[in-house]
Amino acid sequence: MSELTDTILRMRGISKTFPGVRALDDVNLEVLRGEIHAICGENGAGKSTLMKVLSGVYPHGEYDGEIEFDGEPCRFGGIRDSEHKGIVIIHQELALASNLSIAENIYLGNEMATRGLIDWNRTNAAAADLLRRVGLHENPTTPVLDLGVGKQQLVEIAKALSKRVRLLILDEPTAALNDDDSAHLLELLRGLREDGITCVIISHKLNEVLDIADRVTILRDGRTITTLPSEGLTEDRIISGMVGRDLDHRFPPHEPKIGEEVFRVENWTVHSPTQHGRVLVRDATLSLKRGEIVGLAGLMGAGRTELAMSIFGRSYGSDISGRLIKDGKEIRLRSVGEAIEHGIAYATEDRKRYGLNLIEDIKRNVSAAALSRLAKRGWVDDNEEYKVAEGYRKSLNIKAPSVSSVTGKLSGGNQQKVVLAKWIFTDPDVLILDEPTRGIDVGAKYEIYTIINELADAGKAVLVISSELPELLGLCDRIYTLSAGRITGEVPRAEATQEGLMTLMTAGQEIPS
Amino acid sequence: MSSLAPTNADLAVGAPPPVPVSKSGRKFSFNLRQSGIYLAFLAIVLLFTILTGGDMLAPQNISNIIVQNSYILILAIGMILIIIAGHIDLSVGSIVAACGAVAAVLMVEHSVPWPLAILITLVVGGVIGAWQGYWVAYFGIPAFIVTLAGMLLFRAVTLMILGNRGIGPFPDEVRTLSNGFVDGYLGNIGLGALGGADLLSLLVGVASVVGIVVVQWRARKGRQKYGQAVEPFPLFVAKIVVAAALVMFVVVQLARFRNLPWVLVLLAALVLGYSVLTNRAVFGRQIYAIGGNLQAATLSGVKVKSVIFWIFVNMGVLSALAGIIFAGRLNQANPTAGNQFELDAIAAAFIGGAAVQGGVGKVVGAITGGLIMGVINNGMSLIGAESEQVMLVKGAVLLAAVAFDIWTKRRAGASR
């Protein structure tokens, strides 16, 4: 296996510097023909940068080092050059034109045309073939916006296949997928491996990495730490390579101090704002106690975010009915402002789109939801604002030179801490955290878990929504399961298992195969 | 206010210590994107001063630049708020005309006392703004469409009011506001070689400089008290000296001519008021939050619709004010008044550093942008350039300013 001819890609001594940051420092990577090669590392370790160098996003000349693909030295001037060689990258944030059809997206920039006119019959037929190959049973003329994230991911792969891909790079392909879609995707990658397509996959989900990868390269602080065969490899071994220290526990120890009930949702029903009559959440009832961390588990599309956002001042959904009881009294939350006033906070699952003003600095983001606390008669005291933000920067360990740093330039973990600071500063009694560790590296996750524990210890009720069952099992005192808009179970921590939760999460609906 | 202390800010997080940052040792990098506009302004002024052999900075010419551009600058103040929020207003030129016509009908044809007439006109402007704000904020039509329609609608209203004639003349008080100068209550004093100058104007200038120094000094002390980084003392002093010198230069030149124009007094008050509003008021902060990320602002409890509604109302009122001043200056309300003023106001905002996507911009920047165009107009006409050449240069400057903004952003944005 280890003869020279079997190495399809060799990157040697790759260094890449941004103003003030050395993102890659003499990185070496060798990928064998026909293997699935995983790259692991904390956020900021340089994984994405390395893949951008490889795919020509950073053209030759912007980095140091050599790339050899299929025995030939390569100097890509742009993505088109690398795609010409059969190297295709699928980014974490999918790049599909949502109003165009599946077929149009697959052949975007690569249209099947005769004499300048697109041959739609040929396009759609070829697209249908590709869709069969990736196991997506949809009409090629369906607009992409009608598809869920999992199916869109498959369209991206079909698009890559249409370019006669030989080396497929996937950046966090399963980050936004539920377990079923993830499993399907991983199965598809195995199938592609059978067809001789080499895969490089970046993932934070180490169980997946061990499941699917043949070899694993670990990056840390812009350097290659090691490349290991996945056989006999453990998650702990990868983690210790990524963080450079052993993490005995991925979850901080926590003794819950649970008090009386603080918030209760009764018979909560939410309808779709766009599709008339469609029920997103039906008759949901849940209760939160002071000092308690409660999990909400559900597959993608089960209505988790819809439930949370409809509670949070009706910021999502229509025709909402049910009762909210806070401290024993019924409250009505008709706007986000009223929700904040009543001590409810909701940290969104998509911090870049819904959580932060990325062009503003840390302090203005921290104060955004509670400006009135910093203002006298409508005028903001910006010195107090600085003091508050600086306090959170220290206590939450937000890694930034100062609170005047722009949030768009922070890493995912630090952005998430800014979001948390913003909501902690509203002084809530109930915090709803939607996917609080999505796309965050292991070290920062640990810090976020610690913050959540301390919030609970301060007497707040925390509702954590997460796609990662181990996270809920490690963090929560009690877990609700949501399936197709209904609460299907309530499991105390001691009795919860991944299998048991999964059964509840799929209860009352057809289990997609 | 002790309640300001964040209840959980002292969470002890069991994690590595934060990156050490020294409070005083932080370097102050020169912010090209923010300072560029002011340097460009000075460079343009310098260029035309040389090209015109000093006529550019002559007392009467400085006064002319201020008076001739006052209405555009007033519009630019309203426009920058709208652009920060991520919208646009194409109708301001037509609102200027419509409100000028309303004022003229009230004062000239119905002999309404001028203060009442001005008040009514401002309210009319506010109602027009509310009309547009309703469609944009509550009905959800893009501002581009609403105000494009408004551009036609309010021009039509103007023509319906005025027909094909102009209405005038305006009462003296209104003309004084638009065109006139503060009375020299304290008489003149000699300034040696510079000749006589109005004492009151000079005193106002000195008071402004003292005000600048006091406010800046107190802000600096306040920041230091909170342990915030402040700019190095020499730089602080240098900035104040430059600002004071500029203010005094303009004031001395004006005092040598005919005292302070009333519109300058009005403009100064507006710039000051709106700068504080955008920097310090909750309302102002919310405008930036909306422009920076609409969804995040909504989910932070900002009443987005109401904020958008009110900035359009504000634009309407400022357009009415500009309409009165413009009509007063011509001494006639005219059906073609305000033509293309919206373009000048928008250009002023973008030259002054507003971002096309919203969320960024400053009142002072928009004023500087407006003055840059005013100086180009004035300087080029002084050297006898044709109007098409002026247009060419203004277009090029607008494009260059926005290109520069995007270029600096792209350079800064090249990150992981």
Q: For A20, which residue in chain B has the nearest alpha carbon?
A: B415
With an 8 Å Cβ cutoff, are B14 and A409 in contact?
A: no
A485 φ/ψ sector (left φ>0, alpha ψ -120 to 50, else beta): left
The pTM of the full predicted model, rounded to 2 decimals, is 0.79
| Among A337, A348, A355, beta carbon nearest to B301 | A337
pLDDT in the model for residue A471: 87
Name the helix (H) or strand (E) containing A347.
strand A344-347
3-state secondary structure of A486: strand
pLDDT value at B416 more than 80: no
Q: For A48, which residue in chain B has the nearest alpha carbon?
A: B416
> pLDDT tens per residue, chain A (513 residues)?
444 458 899 999 999 887 556 788 899 999 999 999 999 887 667 888 899 999 888 998 889 999 999 888 989 988 888 988 999 998 877 788 888 999 999 998 888 888 888 888 889 999 999 999 888 888 999 998 888 777 888 898 899 889 889 999 998 887 767 778 888 889 999 999 998 899 999 987 788 889 899 999 998 878 898 899 988 888 888 877 877 655 456 788 889 999 999 999 999 999 988 777 788 899 999 999 999 999 999 876 788 999 999 999 998 888 899 999 999 999 999 999 999 999 999 999 889 889 999 999 999 999 999 999 999 888 999 899 999 999 999 999 998 888 998 998 888 889 999 999 999 999 999 999 999 988 777 778 889 999 999 999 999 999 999 877 888 988 999 999 998 889 999 999 999 888 888 788 877 654 343
pLDDT value at B206 more than 60: yes
Instruction: Provide the H-helix boundaries in A287-353.
Output: 304-311, 336-341
- Please list every residue in chain A whose beta carbon sits closer than 8 Å to the beta carbon of residue B229: 402
Q: Are A504 and A489 in contact (CB under 8 A)?
A: yes
User: Burial of A510 by CB count in 10 Å (0-12 exposed, 13-18 middle, 19+ buried)?
Assistant: exposed
Q: How far apart are CA A510 and CA B189, in angstroms?
A: 93
| Among B11, B292, B415, beta carbon nearest to A395 | B11
**C-alpha separations of A405 from A334, A360, A409, A414, A418 in Å:** 34, 8, 8, 11, 11
pLDDT value at B225 more than 50: yes
List all residues 6 or more positions away from A178 whose beta carbon is below 8 Å from its beta carbon. Answer: A150, A299, A300, A301, A467
Q: How far apart are CA B283 and CA A378, in angstroms?
A: 7
How many other CB atoms are found less than 10 A from the CB of residue B222?
15
pLDDT tens-digit series, residues B348-407: 999 998 988 899 999 999 999 999 999 999 999 999 999 899 999 999 999 998 888 888
Q: How far apart are CA B293 and CA B358, in angstroms?
A: 9
| Among A312, A382, A399, beta carbon nearest to B18 | A399
Q: How far apart are CA B83 and CA B360, in angstroms?
A: 8
Evaluate the omega torsion of the peptide bond into residue B169 and state whether it is cis, within 30 degrees of 0: yes
pLDDT in the model for residue A438: 81
Q: For A335, which residue in chain B has the nearest alpha carbon?
A: B301
Paired tokens of B241 = 């000296």
| Among B226, B281, B293, beta carbon nearest to A356 | B293
Question: What DSSP string describes B210-242?
Answer: HHHHHHHHHHHHHHHHTT-----HHHHHHHHHH
3-state secondary structure of A251: coil
List all residues 6 or more positions away from A73 whose beta carbon is below 8 Å from its beta carbon. Answer: A66, A67
pLDDT in the model for residue B50: 94
Q: How far apart are CA B206 and CA A451, in angstroms?
A: 54
Cross-strand partners of B281? A379
Which range, A116-130, B16-30, B281-295, has the best average confidence (pLDDT)?
Answer: B281-295
B355 φ/ψ sector (left φ>0, alpha ψ -120 to 50, else beta): beta
With an 8 Å Cβ cutoff, are B8 and A21 in contact?
A: no
pLDDT tens-digit series, residues A280-298: 899 999 999 999 999 999 8
Interface check B280 vs A, CB under 8 A: yes
With an 8 Å Cβ cutoff, are B8 and A458 in contact?
A: yes
Paired tokens of A435 = 């996917």
3-state secondary structure of A417: helix
Torsion of CA B75, B80, B86, B87, to 10 degrees: 0
List all residues 6 or more positions away from A484 whose beta carbon is below 8 Å from its beta carbon. Answer: A302, A303, A508, A509
Residue from A42, A382, A422 to probe the interface with B (highest B Cβ count within 10 Å): A382
| Among B4, B289, B295, beta carbon nearest to A368 | B289
What's the average model confidence in pLDDT over B192-200? 81
pLDDT in the model for residue A333: 93
In Å, how far is A12's CA from the nearest CA of chain B?
Answer: 20
Catalogue all structural domains in chain A, each as residue range(s) with its CATH number.
4-243 (3.40.50.300), 258-343+428-513 (3.40.50.300), 353-427 (no CATH)
In Å, how far is B47's CA from the nearest CA of chain A?
Answer: 34
Q: Are B362 and B353 in contact (CB under 8 A)?
A: yes
Q: Are B70 and B267 in contact (CB under 8 A)?
A: yes
Report angle CA A69, A70, A71 to the nearest 5 degrees: 90
E strand residue ranges, A187-299:
198-202, 215-220, 223-229, 261-271, 279-289, 293-298
pLDDT in the model for residue B28: 45
Q: How far apart are CA B271 and CA B269, in angstroms?
A: 6
List all residues 6 or more positions away from B309 whose beta carbon is below 8 Å from its beta carbon. Answer: B130, B133, B134, B136, B137, B138
> Quick one: which of B379, B373, B313 has its CA closest to B343?
B373
> Quick one: which of A79, A60, A71, A61 has its CA closest to A30?
A71
Q: Are A206 and A223 in contact (CB under 8 A)?
A: no
In Å, how far is A403's CA from the nearest CA of chain B?
Answer: 10
Sheet with A64-69, strands from edge to edge, namely A21-32, A7-18, A64-69, A72-74
3-state secondary structure of A477: coil
With an 8 Å Cβ cutoff, are B15 and A397 in contact?
A: yes
| Among B6, B285, B293, beta carbon nearest to A380 | B285
Cβ-Cβ pairs closer than 8 A, A with B, add up to 163
Interface check B11 vs A, CB under 8 A: yes
| Among A354, A374, A390, beta carbon nearest to B299 | A354
pLDDT in the model for residue A112: 84
pLDDT tens-digit series, residues B47-66: 999 999 989 999 899 999 99
- Please list every residue in chain A whose beta carbon sits closer than 8 Å to the beta carbon of residue B297: 357, 368
pLDDT in the model for residue A5: 52
Task: Please tell me the least confidently modeled range out of A298-302, B64-68, B165-169, B306-310.
Answer: A298-302
List all residues 6 or more positions away from A314 whose beta carbon is below 8 Å from its beta carbon. Answer: A320, A333, A334, A335
Average pLDDT, chain B: 88
**C-alpha separations of A471 from A297, A431, A464, B150 in Å:** 10, 17, 10, 55
In Å, how far is A314's CA from the nearest CA of chain B?
Answer: 10
More confident residue, B346 or A230: B346
Q: How far apart are CA A287 and CA A285, in angstroms?
A: 7
Catalogue all structural domains in chain B, each as residue range(s) with its CATH number.
33-180+261-400 (1.10.3470), 182-259 (no CATH)
With an 8 Å Cβ cutoff, are A372 and B281 in contact?
A: no
What's the average model confidence in pLDDT over B333-342? 92
3-state secondary structure of B266: helix
Greatest extent of chain B over all pairs of C-alpha atoms, in Å:
78
